[in-house]
C-alpha cells in the first residue's frame, strides 16, 4: 500500500467513525428528549430547546458536516454501505443500555450488515473516481 493510499484509508476510518457515532448518538438523544405529543408547530419548535434535543441537534449537525467532509474524498458507493454499521450499533445499544431482546431476525440482519461492511471496506479503496480537476498538482 502506498503512503498516499494508507493516509487516505486512515483518514477515511477516522471520519467514518465520527459520521457513524454522531448519527447514532444524535438520534438517540433526540428520541430521549422529544415529548411524545407535539400538537402544534410551536410545540415542535420549543421542543428543540430541551437540553437532550439540543444536544441531539448539535450531534446531527456534526453528522451532516462530517459526512460532507468524508464525501469530499471517499466514494458514495463506499460511504453508503460502510456507514450502515450505525444500524448495528443502534440494535446493540438497545440490547446493552435498554436491555431489549434481539430477535433471531434482527441478529440475522446484524450479521448481513456486518458482512456487507466487511466486503466493501476490505475489498476496495475508499476512492476510485478521479478527484476534481482543481485538485491536480497537489
**Where on the chain is the footprint of other proteins (CB under 8 A)?**
65, 67-69, 71-73, 75-81, 84, 87-88, 91, 105-106, 108-120, 122-124, 128-132, 134-135
- Residue whose CB is less far from other proteins, 49 or 107: 107
Cell of 46: 420549543
Burial 95-125 (b: 16+ CB within 10 A, else e): eeeeeeeeeeebeeebeebeeebeebbeeee
Distance between CA atoms of residues 122 and 105, nearest Å = 26
User: Which residue number, 54 or 75, has a Cβ lying nearer to other proteins?
Assistant: 75
Comparison of 29 and 70: residue with beta carbon closer to other proteins? 70
Radius of gyration of the chain (CA): 18
| Smallest distance, other proteins to C-beta of residue 79, A | 8
Q: 55 vs 69, which CB is nearer to other proteins?
A: 69
Q: Taking the complex as a whole, how short is the minimal distance between the CB of residue 108 and other proteins, in angstroms?
A: 5
Please work out, in degrees rounded to the nearest 5, the angle formed at the alpha carbon of residue 127 by the alpha carbons of 133 and 66.
90
Sign of CA dihedral 39, 45, 49, 51: positive
Q: How far is the CB of 68 from other proteins (least distance, A)?
A: 5
CB of 8 to other proteins, least distance (A): 8
Amino acid at each position: 500500500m502506498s503512503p498516499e493510499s494508507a493516509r487516505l484509508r486512515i483518514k477515511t476510518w477516522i471520519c467514518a467513525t465520527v459520521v457513524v457515532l454522531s448519527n447514532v448518538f444524535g438520534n438517540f438523544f433526540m428520541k430521549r428528549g422529544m415529548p411524545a405529543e407535539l400538537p402544534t408547530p410551536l410545540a415542535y419548535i420549543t421542543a428543540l430547546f430541551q437540553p437532550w434535543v439540543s444536544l441531539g441537534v448539535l450531534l446531527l449537525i456534526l453528522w451532516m458536516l462530517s459526512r460532507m467532509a468524508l464525501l469530499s474524498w471517499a466514494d458514495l458507493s463506499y460511504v453508503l454501505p460502510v456507514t450502515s454499521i450505525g444500524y448495528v450499533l443502534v440494535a446493540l445499544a438497545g440490547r446493552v443500555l435498554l436491555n431489549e431482546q434481539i430477535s433471531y431476525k434482527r441478529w440475522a440482519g446484524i450479521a448481513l450488515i456486518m458482512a456487507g461492511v466487511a466486503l466493501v471496506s476490505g475489498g476496495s479503496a475508499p476512492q476510485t473516481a478521479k478527484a476534481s480537476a482543481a485538485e491536480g498538482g497537489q
